[in-house]
Amino acid sequence: MSKVTVLGGCGAVGSIATQVLASSGVFSEITVADIDIEKATELVMSLGGSNVSAVEVDAENPQSIRSAIAGSSVVLNCVGPFYKYGPIIMKAVIESKINYVDVCDDFDATEELLGMDEEAKKAGISALIGMGSSPGIANVLVRFCADSLLEQVESVDIYHAHGGEKIEGQAVVKHRIHSMKMDIPMFLDGKFTTVGLFEDSGRAMEEETEFRDVGTYNVYAYPHPETITLPKYLKGVKRVTNLGLVLPPAYAELIKGMVRLGVTGEAPVEVQGHKVVPLEFAVAFILSQRDRLTKEAGLKEPMGCLKIVVKGYKNGDKNTYVFSMSSRGQGMGEGTGVPAALGAILMATGKIKQKGVCPPEGCVNPMDVVELAQTKVSVGGKTGFPIVIEHIDKNGKLEKLDLLS
């Protein structure tokens, strides 16, 4: 039995992770650490366990972080946006010599965190980064495919769509804006490259994709870190891409439009005698329109789908495997928070043995995740992961597979 501290533990993702951890029976003590101590305390009271407590933390203050995580066996970091807070928190955790798990989905932050590998090894700790949905479960399923189903992986295309959550925080919108403004990494024709969302290179990546139980949508290039980590673990792979969409499409287009117009800078501008940061205005405006656009689209409940298409060869024959994780009534919080909690449980129970900083495909046994999901996950009365696996053989014949068979 051990103590886990969930940083950002009462946010959309952190609160789900905290619920899973509290119901798992793995931890003797769970601390919900958040800058909003009142909200953290409310969550703790709702869980009703004597082993769950709340503490205030400032993710920009290393000393505050070190104080909040003191005595922990595992730190689960759900504080976003990761391009801002990830490196600060990771450094404080390494200095405290505590094992670490996060849900980092910013590729630039991922590169910086991977750059702390030697520091983590010297501290004797294990750090599992990007253990959410995408990245996270996506990486784990690709590794399963490479280890158990194919002799050679040729391509990996990751797609995701989600929306309709009851709330959406500023950090999520800032992450999306940040993602749209940068050069987006892709692995094409066996080489690392980048595309621009609003440039010809980015537009060439867009495609219409069918998502199980969710619908068919046009998806666009996303700078998630699978495209920079998976090629390092898949020898001979020629293509790794990540494309996604936030629902409803009109909401995604609003965010893209604000970025395209350039109303997302961080340098203050004067407006009628007041200093205004364009980014803060853009985020506030986007969020003010979210409910209207969601209602107009008829999106009445959270929904989401992660789809991974892996192509390759076995016995010289071309094979395709399509993994789909879809849900209605559950959105980003569950899709990211549940895998994050499982990562923390794996860390606490000694299943993550590698020291240093690793993405999921580098240190997580896929079957460990699947088995845990069947026994330790209970959110809204639902257990396990709703994974559908389809195999398409060299003749185009399709069959469904059971991950546990």
Q: How many CB atoms lie within 10 A of CB 376?
A: 20
Q: What is the pLDDT of residue 1?
A: 66
Helical ranges in 194-277 per DSSP H? 200-203, 226-233, 249-261
Residue 377's pLDDT band (boundaries 50, 70, 90)? Answer: low
| Least confident residue range of 1-15, 100-114, 323-337, 349-363 | 323-337
Q: How far is CA 280 from the centre of its chain?
A: 23
Q: What is the pLDDT of residue 165?
A: 86
Q: What is the pLDDT of residue 166?
A: 85
How does strand 303-314 pair with strand 356-358? unpaired
Q: What is the pLDDT of residue 41?
A: 96
**pLDDT, tens digit, 9 for 90 and up, residues 71-127:** 999 999 999 999 999 999 999 999 999 999 999 999 999 999 999 999 999 999 999
Residue 359's pLDDT band (boundaries 50, 70, 90)? Answer: very high
pLDDT of 381 strictly over 70:
no
CA 251, CA 215: separation in Å to the nearest integer?
16
Residues sharing a CB contact under 8 Å with residue 249, sequence separation 6 or more, in sequence order: 217, 218, 297
Q: Do 177 and 264 touch, CB atoms closer than 8 A? A: yes
Q: What is the pLDDT of residue 386?
A: 75
Q: Kindly state the average pLDDT of the residues 124-137.
A: 97
Q: Residue 108 is encoded by which pair of tokens?
A: 């630039």
Q: What is the pLDDT of residue 331?
A: 67
Residue 135's pLDDT band (boundaries 50, 70, 90)? Answer: very high
Q: Residue 77 is encoded by which pair of tokens?
A: 């970091």
Q: Where are the beta strands (DSSP E) in 135-255?
A: 152-163, 183-188, 191-196, 207-211, 215-221, 239-247
Q: Domain coordinates of the chain in residue numbers? A: 2-132+332-376, 137-330+387-391
CA 241, CA 227: separation in Å to the nearest integer?
6
- Residue tagged 């003590």 (tokens): 29
Q: What is the pTM of this model?
A: 0.93
Residue 169's pLDDT band (boundaries 50, 70, 90)? Answer: confident
Mean pLDDT of the chain: 94
Residue 230's pLDDT band (boundaries 50, 70, 90)? Answer: very high
Residue 167's pLDDT band (boundaries 50, 70, 90)? Answer: confident
Q: Do 31 and 47 touch, CB atoms closer than 8 A? A: no
pLDDT of 190 strictly over 80:
yes
Q: Kindly state the average pLDDT of the residues 181-199.
A: 97
Q: Kindly state the average pLDDT of the residues 387-396.
A: 94
**pLDDT, tens digit, 9 for 90 and up, residues 300-332:** 999 999 999 999 999 999 999 999 998 877 766
3-state helix, strand, coil in the chain (%, to 5): 40, 30, 30
Q: What is the pLDDT of residue 333?
A: 76
Q: What is the pLDDT of residue 387?
A: 87
Helical ranges in 262-326 per DSSP H? 278-296
The CATH fold of domain 2-132+332-376: Rossmann fold (3.40.50)
Q: Kindly state the average pLDDT of the residues 257-271.
A: 95
Q: Residue 207 is encoded by which pair of tokens?
A: 């495609």
pLDDT of 384 strictly over 70:
no
CATH of domain 137-330+387-391: 3.30.360.10
Residue 4's pLDDT band (boundaries 50, 70, 90)? Answer: very high
Omega before 360 cis (within 30°)?
no
